[in-house]
Every structure is written in structure tokens, then in C-alpha cells.
Structure 1
């Protein structure tokens, strides 16, 4: 594409103009956590950008694909198949597909974490997503 005005990405037989997705567009009105489902944006992954207070987090659930967590700030206790792991800022953890898991903010301040789903749409059994 020689002309910057032609900066279009071909996808699914059509075209879309690349754009920045603002986190405010991904939050429900009653939550600080943002939900990004990749399919709607031409991405092969989905994620939650978690912003949770101490004691908060989803209950037990599972997915038919792996999920990777990256802790940006705070502390999370992650339960995977009955095993508790404590992750802090700059730590990562992975749960394989099909295992029951949950996490809770086990620190004294805010938990900021990215929960990356290896799927362009979120599929979940158990606790409803935040």
C-alpha cells in the first residue's frame, strides 16, 4: 500500500480499518475489569484486563483451551486443579485446557492482571466471567 490512506487490513473477505481499541470500550458499566474477545477485532486471542480489589476474583471455572496470566501489579492466589500458587507483579502462570481454576486478589492493594485466553472467543464452564 503506497498511500497511507489505504492502510486497510483484509480479513474474512472484507476490509477493516486498523484502530486502537480503548479499554473503556471493553468494560461493563458495573466493573473495572475489561473483556476483549479477539474475533470481533481480527485477533486470535481473547483476554481479561483485571482490576480487582482484595478478596475479589472469579470462582472455579474451566475452558477448552489454555489460559495464561500475567500479573502486572499486586498479588494473586491462583488455584489450578486444587493446587494454590501465589503470583506477584512480573510473574506468569499457565493453566492447561480443561482444568478447573480460579484466582483471588490475595494482596492488600489492587490486583492488575492480564488473563489471556488462547481462543478468539471465550468459552467457559462454571463461574460466569467477570
Structure 2
């Protein structure tokens, strides 16, 4: 089930947006997505990672930009590891395998923007592809 507000709006407050439980200590709060309007060309929101959690290696059909808002992140992009601190950002081209995980002792919060409305996620290990924030888009887990 995709989570989105009942009606499109131009102002979204984090406390008013529905949360999408990814499982394993990872929660996503979508702000603007394909539901927003026919003219929206991005999907955006934030994801909160509890200490020691992350997402599996995956890719998207669109590019993704990630800004670290809180905590200490490690990004694995195309097999390379990058440590990111608050205020730092990274960009991942469409089709490139990647993941983000919380390497710190506190909550990690990222702000993300996808360059498109119809975002899919393909899990590298299984090859399974599904719609972003659909009932199948879970996968939060300990960051091994």
C-alpha cells in the first residue's frame, strides 16, 4: 500500500505526514511524490534509521540525492564505502547499486530526493523490483 495524503498539498509538515515503517528500525516519511500533481517531477522525503540499521543494497530507476540531516551515515555506492556526516550529501545515478546505513550510536536521519515520480527499487541480491514505498518496499535490517 502506498502512503500518501488524501489530497495534494503545497505545504507538508513532518509531524503531519504519515510514516512508512520499513521494518528493522527504519522509517520513511514521504513528502512529495507522484501523488502530488501531474507536474511534480521529483519524489522527496526523509528516512530515519535507528542505530545499527540500514537498507539492503538496491538500485532505482531514477537518480537519487541524499543529504544527511542527523547522525553518522555510511553510504555504499557501487561497492565503494563513503562516510557521511551532518550536512554532507551524495548523489546516486539511476541503476547504480547502493545502500545507506547508520554507523553511529544515535538516530540517523536523511533527506532524499528522487529525480522522478514513478520510482522503483530493485534489490540487488534477489533481483526483485517493486514500487517505492509499496507494501513490498520493506527491508530495514541490521547494517551487517
Count of aligned pairs = 115
Whether 1:21 and 2:12 are equivalent positions in the alignment is yes
Deviations 1:80-108 (A, max 9, x none): 01000000100001111111001100111
3-state DSSP of counterpart to 1:54: coil
1:40 equivalenced with 2:47 (yes/no): no
Of 93, 98, 101, which residue of structure 2 is paired with 1:96?
93
Instruction: Quote the residue 1:80 is aligned against.
Output: 77
Aligned with 1:112 (options 109, 114, 118): 109
Q: Do the aligned partners of residues 85 and 129 (structure 1) sit closer, same or farther apart at CA in structure 2, a change above 3 Å counting?
A: farther
2:8 and 2:41 mapped to 1: Cα distance?
17
Matches within 5 A, 1:56-67: 56-67=53-64
In structure 2, relative to structure 1, the CA distance for the partners of 1:61 and 1:48 (3 Å cut) is: farther
Report the TM-score when normalising by structure 1. 0.76
2:66 corresponds to? 69
Shift of 1:69: 0.5
RMSD, aligned α-carbons: 2.3
Unaligned runs of 5+ in 2: 1-6, 125-135, 139-144
Question: Is the contact between residue 19 and residue 28 of structure 2 (CA under 8 Å) also seen in structure 1?
Answer: yes
Output the CA distance in 2 between the equivalents of 1:63 and 1:93: 15
More helix by percentage = 1
Structure number with bigger Rg: 1
Q: Which runs of 5+ in 1 are unaligned?
A: 1-15
